[in-house]
Every structure is written in structure tokens, then in C-alpha cells.
Structure 1
Amino acid sequence: MFNALQVVTTVIVGLMVGVEFSVAFVINPIFKALPEDSGQLARSHGGRMLGAVMPFWYIGSLVLVGIWAAAGWHHHGTGLVVTSGVLLILSVIMSVLLLVPINDQGKTWTPETRPADWKQQVNRWDRFHYVRVAVIIAAFVLLVTALT
């Protein structure tokens, strides 16, 4: 049962990392290259869609890592799992304090209602997101390392 928990947790965190990596390095660059207002409209839609799912994915991942750490307290690699959990906590804090406020505004924008500085806000969100992606990649690497 413990092995199943380890595998499920690692897969769920890994998929989350993959989605967030894809947003940073594939999806958003595609959106930036779209003509006229299409990119901003696409980001607004993406913000609504992923904004509804990602909080559960982040918290769910954190809960699974916490269960793994508690259940495997005396197993090899628990320190790595705990450190991974700390990084996931950091990613949640970053999300709530830095990214969600921008996303909450951006997901309501239309070409008619967006603020004059919308591009600067989008770029700010992207910079914060790059850091968050690095944090969750590190958390994922620690989980994979704990499996070995």
C-alpha cells in the first residue's frame, strides 16, 4: 500500500509539473504569438479553466506528500519527501500571494475591459510563474529521488 501511495503521489505531482511547465514554455508563448486580441482572450480563458482546477491539484499534491511523509516517517528518503512538501507549501504561498491576484483579474479581461497595463501584468505573472515552476520541479525531483 505504501508503494502505491508513493507512485500515485509522484505521478500526480509529476503531471502537475508537466502542466505548469507546458503553460510556461509552450502555451503562453503560443498565446503571445497569436494575432491582435486572440492571445489575451486565450489567456483569459486559460486563467478561468486552469484557475478552477489548479488549487485542488496543488493542495491535493501537498496532502499526498504529507501522507507519504507521515506514513513513511521511518523509511529511507523521508527527509527528501518532507523537503518536497516544504517546496510545495512555498508554491502554494507564491500562488496565493503573487499569481492568483493577477490571474483573478486577467480571467475577466476582454479587449474592451482590460487595463492599459495588461501586458505588464501578464509579464509579471509569467515571471512569478517561472519561479513557481522551478520550485515545483525541485519538489518533484526530490520525490523521484526519495523513491530510489
Structure 2
Amino acid sequence: MGVEFAVAAFVNPILDRLPDNGGLAARSDGARLLGKVMPFWYIGSVVLGAVWAVLAWGGVGAGLVITATALLVLSVLIPIALLVPVNSRVAQWTHGSVPADRKQPLGRWDRFHFVRVGVIVTAFVLLVIGKG
């Protein structure tokens, strides 16, 4: 949750302010690198949530843990459906091949990412409350 929030609130806005499209190179590199590792931590979170839901089944807070796990599943589906297509495009950009309309897909990615962050934060809050 912390990493996703930091990317949305701080990293990408900082990168966007770099001169001479410096942020585009960083976003492109980040899209390639994180595209390789993110599936593992997202799927790991869903698996851990599912294990917790099974262990909590029938107990106090089980509904919250199950709902949180469903939200974690949604947080995996959002990137697949909305973010990966943009990331795939951005990952191919080089300093010499940045399209003129670059701000449109980056802005769309940022908006979808904020939605994903909201889903993840909500899941985290439900897990904390469900622990009760």
C-alpha cells in the first residue's frame, strides 16, 4: 500500500516535473522493471488474504477480511485491464520515440492508479478492522 501511494502521490508528480522529458525515461524504465516484479507481490497479497479469510471463516471480522481479499483481487484486475496496456506502451518509449500525445496516456495511467490505490487502502483498512 505504501509503495503504491508513494508512486501516485509523490514519485510520478516529481518525475513529471523533470526537465527535458527526464521523467519519461524514468517512467519507461519503471514500467519495464515493475512490470516484471509487481505480479508476484500482488498475487502474494491475494493469496495471503485468501489464507487469512479461510482461517477467519465464521469468526468475528471474517466478513471484513473476505471483503478486503475481494478488493485485493480487484487491485490485481485493475492493472491487467487498465494499467498494463498503458505501461506496455510507455515501456517501449525511448528518448527519441516519445509521442507528442504522451501526457494523455500518462494522465490516464495516473487516474487509474489513484483508483487502484484507493482500493488497496480500503482493503488495508478492512484488514486492520477485521483483525479486531
1:72 aligns with 2:56: yes
Report the equivalent of 1:125. 109
- Can you give the 5+ residue segments of structure 1 that lack an aligned partner in the other structure? 1-16
Amino acid at match of 1:68: W
1:76-106: CA deviation from partner (whole Å, max 9, x where unpaired)? 1110010001111111111100001101111
Identity of aligned residues (%): 55
Aligned residue type for 2:7 = V
SS of 2:41 mapped into structure 1: helix
Cα displacement (A) at 1:114: 2.6
**TM-score normalized with structure 2 length:** 0.95
Aligned twin of 2:121: 137
Name the CA distance, whole Å, in 2 between partners of 1:114 and 1:64: 39
- TM-score scaled to structure 1, two decimals? 0.85
Please list the CA deviations of residues 32-55 of structure 1 after superposition, one character each: whole Å capped at 9, or x if unmatched: 110112010011111122221111
Q: Which position in structure 1 is the counterpart of 2:92?
A: 108
2:10 to 19, 23, 26: 26
Count of matched residue pairs: 132
Over residues 88-147 of structure 1, what are the superposed CA-to-partner deviations in whole Å (9 max), with x where a residue is unaligned? 111111110000110111112112223332211000000000111001100000001111
CA RMSD in angstroms comes to: 1.0
- In structure 2, what is the equivalent of residue 42 of structure 1? 26
Stretches of structure 2 lacking an aligned partner (at least 5 in a row):
none
Runs of 4 or more, structure 1, over 6 Å off, are none
1 CA distance for matches of 2:79 and 2:26?
Answer: 20
Instruction: Give the secondary structure class of the aligned counterpart of 2:20.
Output: coil
2:56 touches 2:65 (CA, 8 Å); kept in 1? no
